[in-house]
């Protein structure tokens, strides 16, 4: 059975990273999409594990070849999701998890309308502010600006297939696992199997 693509997005600080890490610990046959980037590797970063490190020429060629599901430039470096690895994983029957920004998610969805979009929401703005402050790495200004951006991004949540509230990591992960299981029961997934058997 072919795998499916799940786009997981949500505002900065919502706890997406922790949720995805725990999801991978519990759910078999998942593939985490590794981005391509033009920036150089930092100490400890491995090619193909943390990123696919490629040249700007290569990156631009991939754009020309429509080889990205989404791509963007941040502070002079390019980042993108290569189609190739996503498609190979789905063909192997693995479900693909794309950990992606709201803007990137929109790009992917235009190219892959059968991708399942999950928006991770905080239980409250107070809680999100608390988590952003708790990191201890951001100035009060930065926290305010991240919070304002989160509130803007939240307007997109209504267009998603599912909204998962990060009350607890446990609950959020189990909801995502239920969504993955349910999405494998869709007629488009099941009918090829059944038509072969029936």
Q: Summarize as ranges the residues that interact with a second copy (CB under 8 A).
A: 118, 121-125, 151, 154, 157-165, 174-175, 177-179, 181-183, 185-187, 190-191, 193-194, 197-198
**HSE-up of residue 195 (Cα within 13 Å, Cβ side):** 6
Smallest separation (angstroms) from a second copy to the CB of 172: 10
- Cβ proximity to a second copy: between 138 and 161 the closer is 161
- Residue 81 corresponds to which tokens in the numbers above? 């999701």
**Count of helices and strands (H, E) across the chain:** 8, 9
**109 DSSP assignment:** H
Smallest separation (angstroms) from a second copy to the CB of 155: 11
Smallest separation (angstroms) from a second copy to the CB of 71: 27
> For residues 130 and 124, what is the distance between their CA atoms, to the nearest angstrom?
10
Closest to 71 measured CA to CA, from 62, 172, 123:
62
- Cβ proximity to a second copy: between 41 and 192 the closer is 192
Smallest separation (angstroms) from a second copy to the CB of 55: 41
31 vs 4, 105, 130, CA distance in Å?
Answer: 10, 17, 31
- Cβ proximity to a second copy: between 6 and 62 the closer is 6
- Cβ proximity to a second copy: between 96 and 164 the closer is 164
């Amino acid at each position: 059975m072919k795998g499916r693509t799940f786009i997981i997005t949500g505002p900065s600080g919502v706890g997406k990273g922790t949720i995805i890490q725990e999801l991978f610990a519990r759910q078999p046959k998942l593939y985490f999409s590794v981005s391509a980037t033009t920036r150089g590797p930092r100490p400890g970063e491995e090619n193909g594990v943390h990123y696919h490190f490629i040249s700007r020429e290569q990156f631009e060629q991939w754009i020309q070849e429509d080889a990205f599901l989404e791509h963007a430039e941040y502070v002079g470096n390019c980042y993108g999701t290569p189609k190739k690895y996503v498609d190979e994983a789905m063909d192997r029957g693995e479900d693909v998890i794309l950990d992606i920004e709201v803007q990137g998610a929109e790009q992917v969805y235009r190219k892959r309308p059968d991708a399942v979009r999950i928006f991770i929401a905080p239980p409250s703005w107070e809680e999100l502010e608390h988590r952003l402050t708790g990191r201890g790495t951001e100035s009060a200004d930065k926290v305010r600006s991240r919070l304002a951006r989160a509130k803007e991004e939240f307007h997109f949540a209504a267009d998603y297939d599912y909204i998962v509230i990060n009350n607890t990591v446990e609950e959020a992960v189990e909801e995502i696992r239920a969504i993955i299981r349910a999405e494998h029961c869709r007629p488009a997934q099941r009918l090829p199997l059944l038509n072969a058997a029936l």
